[in-house]
Structure 1
Amino acid sequence: MSTITTEELSETTLLRFATAGSVDDGKSTLVGRLLHDSKSVLTDQLEAVERASASRGQEAPDLALLTDGLRAEREQGITIDVAYRYFATPLRRFILADTPGHVQYTRNMVTGASTAELTVVLVDARNGVVEQTRRHAALAALLRVPHVVLAVNKMDLVAYEEKVFAAIAEEFTAYATELGVPEVTAIPISALVGDNVVEPSANMDWYGGPTVLEHLETVPVSHDLSHCHARLPVQYVIRPQNSDHPDYRGYAGQIAAGSFHVGEQVTVLPSGRTSKVAGIDLLGEPVDVAWTTQSVTLLLEDDIDISRGDLIVPTKDAPATTQDIEATVCHVADAPLTVGHRVLLKHGTRTVKAIVKDIPSRLTLDDLSLHPHPGQLVANDIGRVKIRTAEPLPVDSYSDSRRTGSFILIDPNDGQTLTAGMVGESFAAPEPVKDEADDDGWDF
């Protein structure tokens, strides 16, 4: 593979993707093979893997060790944490999240896939679609991951039989489609041998589709440029203390969705004050337009009281503000989340006090059944919640924007993250019970 120049790298697109699958389906081996065969592994990294493999009595390098970086993972031979890897080809840059397969690490997959635009779900060709496979498909649907790749692994252990692959692909695709996954691409592979990972397989001439890397390099990446309303959570107000720009007042932040243009009328939320974009500074230089993921400074025509936590949006696409939020959440903390729990809710750059008013249901991922009014959510649980905030928040639906339609709940006592939430997402929850008023200082 040719060396990538800085100029070429700056022109490539970025794809964030995650891997998921049951224990021993070969996720880490696939990732290791992908990095190794795409020439994305440094020499010293490969030498370290070779030494570690030899110390365990293995003749060939165990490519899974390229991602299983924790000592506890190496000793158990499983992935127990989300391992992030960064690599690039001449066509695209990648951020990869290798997530655990154990059911008790469901929260880790939610973390890894929450920002992913593609999820690779691995299935052992010998076992087919199992319960954990269905869990991962359900999570991909809930998290609105737009592209799912079904990688049927270990095809070398089933004699590369086409009918084995076809049966698994048909079953998974039907299930994922029922859940609402918009696109499934099935690829037969052997991560251990390298079939259809980076190079086409000579053992499966009946398959005419792309390899895993070819699909990753060519799958469309939208980055919310066209279908999401523009949103800029304000991180910092810039007032330089120099005589060159005595009246400079800029509002800095990373654009969460859409694009902003000079001359565009905007609204500042939650105050509702309006103005026009007088200028946009990007890396210290003025530009006429800026878009999603760019960190910019907006200058407005009017002097408005704006501070960290405010949201700047186009006036024509301004979301409504609310103190009552209904959402689907994944509980990530060991301590349970209960009805009446006092929390901090962080949305964008704004953090406000909030109360969990109700937990209408908990989802059982095994069969997608609902447990009504469980009273609490424990680690790895997914459920519906109703939250009342102390201040109005401008929130989007998660289906409209994964950035401004998401939030986290924080323990106000120690700052621990409790729960990750998706505004408006639902799974046919039962009617919520009537809220009961609280009589303390957290009743909003």
Structure 2
Amino acid sequence: MFEAIANSLEGVFSKLRGKGRLTESNIKDGLHEVRLALLEADVNYKVVKDFIQHVTERAVGEEVIKSIAPGQQIIKIVHDELIKLMGESDTAIPFQDSEPTTIMLVGLQGSGKTTTAGKLAKTILSKGRKPLLVAADIQRPAAIEQLKILGQQLDVPVYFESAAQPAKICKNAVAHARTNAQDVVIFDTAGRLHIDDELMLELQEIKQNLGPHQIYFVCDSMTGQDAVNSAKEFNTKLGFHGVILTKLDGDTRGGAALSIRAVTGRPIKFVGIGEKLDRLEEFHPDRMASRILGMGDVVSLVERAQQAIDMEEAQKLSRKIQNDTLSLDDFLMQLQQIKKMGPIKEILGMIPGLGNKMDGLNVDEKQLHRVEAIIRSMTTEERASPDMVNGSRRQRVANGSGTTIQDVNQLLKQFRAMKKMIKQFKGNERGLKKMGLLSKGLPFGKGMLQ
């Protein structure tokens, strides 16, 4: 995400770092390029103007001109101002104790409200709550069916009525939640292709009758300024407590994420970074600023690892490292846990120094499936002792996995290299134990990154 703006800013900062010394003149020239990069990223014009003004006031001061590393100092200033621009982190959902917490999702048609309702329900489930999904969109064909399917996937109940007005449906749903001990109610409301009076009257009626505890505006981040303009109008006519940005994984520009807080004064609460129901993340401005500037996002990477890694299995793996008894089954287990963390390109983008170098890099996710197929085509004995996989066995494994002998050879070579590298890291078992994964053993071999 944000590859275009990240690459543009990296180019500007490289020029500034290359200067023998920085002056007020070349700082302003550099910030002029930063301004152009932000405008090309579809950031709101007034937001860009204010941002550059704030950065300039700090950058042309003595703290930069007399700094030992002025280029780095400017990057830090831009980083700090990006955080201010996106606002402080505000990801908490204020749950009620005495009554069901009601959350109303609003937005234009096609923004991803229904899918987001499912993702939000899954997030709330992980917090030990019992959510109820409410199909309050009676405008879009199949909206109710889509929500019912999501509910079945999550094992979350869905309340719907076939012949009632949205406000009535929502009111009845809250009564249903009280009766059935569901403590969070999520209203999936209707949208339109554009903002009109009919839509706003419908949403205002729900708000007036139910008084939802939280209203979240759901918008497609890839629409840039259109998303910001819609958010501004929704906030003016309806009012909301926070924003959920969808499709952020496909947003190379970042205009909506960088503008929406400044324009509406409302925080970005969550971001959708994929189609699966577990691909909703809390929004942290400091982490996003670091990723935009190519500094990576180690905190999010560790959090994902903690969620994906089975600690009991990690301890078993640690003992095998100690005893030098790693097998291809262990390699396969690590692969499966890495896959749980998300797309490989996304994971690599969180590593400091790689974030702004991912644009144009082709990450072949199918290679993971090929590796898995090869290992599963081996016998138990072959997985335990890969050295016994001779020429005829390799041909059998290649045939069974639908791959080539070259693919099998490559995997075995990677596995041997991984074991050799682990021996070199034997003095650092503590770090391996803590991480619970063999970061140097990832199957990113030839053919995976091109």
Smaller-chain TM-score bracket: under 0.3
- Which structure exhibits the higher relative contact order, with contacts defined as CA atoms closer than 8 Å and separated by 6 or more residues? 2
- More strand by proportion, 1 or 2? 1
Q: TM-score, with normalisation over the residues of structure 2? A: 0.25
- More helix by proportion, 1 or 2? 2
Larger radius of gyration: 2
